[in-house]
């Protein structure tokens, strides 16, 4: 009989979580560490990354490391992989979580702002995936999980065309990388969250906030809690999803049902 608990176990695996200092990335790092993975927090904010790495180490008893990484900077990304390999030997799991969202009407958006969103959300995913995949190819594979969004699948109406396009690109890059690297035993999947409750979104969506009306459009009538992504990330990171590659798992309280 297959031992299902063992399939989800990530003991002695090493996971890099980009943008893991706060928000969804921090909770994803917490989830992966609770099933045994050592954690690298790779965030542009080193102070916050160090705090999060220390907190996860103390709470969950795994080894952690904070590395200052701007995912748009190729040299930073190379160093992210090199330092992870120096400390842990190899990279088993990459969560491409770092991302930004600017709410600007397309007609008011400067080309510079458009490029900024694409740089972090698309080019950052490309760079981190490329350099981690090169390491995974030397070590018999691994799992890459990209942070797309339900906004990559619907034209989310809140003046965020650049964001929507960037997250659609992430979903498609997920399929393309999955196809290119399948023979190296590298699986590439994505999650596509709906509206999640983070420090940033909570005040906007809660009663009296500028987007409070949007909650009426979510079938479950609430924001998602960050921990509600954790189970899917553990699944995609682990052998429990060994037949899954190129997929995006939408987790949105039903928003995109219709
Ligand atoms: N919050 C939501 O409702 C929601 C929904 C769908 C998808 N997402 C996606 O989930 C991811 C995380 O969202 P969040 O709400 O936790 O965001 P957040 O703003 O709370 O956290 C983002 C983290 O990324 C880091 N970061 C930003 N730019 C970076 C860069 N260039 N290099 C490295 N790190 C960088 C920040 O320092 C921060 O720690 C993003 O990709 C976002 O698009 C969020």
CA dist., res. 209 & res. 72, Å (int): 32
Residues of the chain with pLDDT below 70 are none
Number of Cβ within 10 Å of residue 101's Cβ equals: 19
Indicate whether residue 27 lines ligand 1 (CB < 6 A): no
Alpha helix segments (H runs only) across 102-229: 111-118, 124-138, 161-181, 202-205
Residue-wise pLDDT tens digits, 227-258: 999 999 999 999 999 999 999 999 999 999 98
Residue-wise pLDDT tens digits, 111-130: 999 999 999 999 999 999 99
Across 20-39, b (16+ Cβ under 10 Å) vs e yields: bbbbbbbbbbbbbbbbbbbb
**pLDDT score recorded for residue 124:** 99
**pLDDT score recorded for residue 145:** 99
Among residues 241, 215, 104, 98, the alpha carbon closest in space to that of 161 is found at: 104
**pLDDT score recorded for residue 201:** 81
Per DSSP, which regions of 28-175 are E strands? 38-43, 64-68, 93-96, 142-147
Q: Report angle CA 82, 27, 98 to the nearest 5 degrees.
A: 50
**pLDDT score recorded for residue 19:** 98
Q: What is the CA radius of gyration of the chain?
A: 18
4-250: CATH topology: Rossmann fold (3.40.50)
Residue 65: phi and psi, rounded to 5, are: -150, 140
**Residue with CA nearest ligand 1 atom 13:** 24
Indicate whether residue 33 lines ligand 1 (CB < 6 A): no
pTM for the complete prediction?
Answer: 0.98
Cα(100) to centroid of ligand 1, in Å? 6
Cα(20) to centroid of ligand 1, in Å? 8
Indicate whether residue 253 lines ligand 1 (CB < 6 A): no
Catalytic site includes residue 163:
yes
Indicate whether residue 45 lines ligand 1 (CB < 6 A): yes
């Amino acid at each position: 009989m297959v031992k299902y608990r063992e399939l989800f176990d990530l003991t002695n695996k090493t996971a890099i979580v980009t943008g893991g200092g706060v928000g969804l990335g921090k909770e994803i790092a917490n989830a992966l560490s609770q099933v045994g993975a050592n954690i690298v927090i790779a965030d542009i904010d080193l102070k916050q990354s160090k705090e999060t790495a220390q907190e996860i180490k103390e709470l969950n008893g795994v080894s952690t490391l904070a590395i200052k990484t701007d995912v748009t900077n190729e040299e930073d990304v190379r160093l992210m992989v090199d330092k992870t390999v120096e400390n842990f030997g190899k990279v088993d799991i990459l969560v491409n979580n770092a991302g930004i969202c600017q709410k600007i009407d397309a007609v008011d958006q400067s080309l510079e702002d458009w490029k900024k969103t694409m740089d972090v959300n698309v080019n950052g995913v490309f760079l981190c995936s490329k350099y981690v995949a090169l390491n995974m190819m030397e070590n018999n594979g691994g799992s890459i999980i990209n942070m797309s969004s339900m906004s990559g699948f619907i034209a989310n109406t809140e003046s965020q065309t650049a964001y929507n396009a960037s997250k659609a690109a992430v979903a498609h890059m997920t399929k393309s990388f999955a196809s290119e690297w399948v023979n190296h035993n590298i699986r590439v999947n994505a999650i596509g969250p709906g509206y999640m409750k983070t420090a940033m979104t909570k005040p906007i969506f809660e009663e009296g906030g500028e987007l409070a009306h949007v909650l009426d459009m979510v079938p479950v009538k609430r924001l998602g809690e960050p921990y509600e992504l954790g189970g899917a990330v553990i699944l995609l990171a682990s052998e429990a999803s060994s037949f899954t590659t190129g997929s995006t798992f939408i987790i949105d309280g039903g928003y995109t049902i219709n």
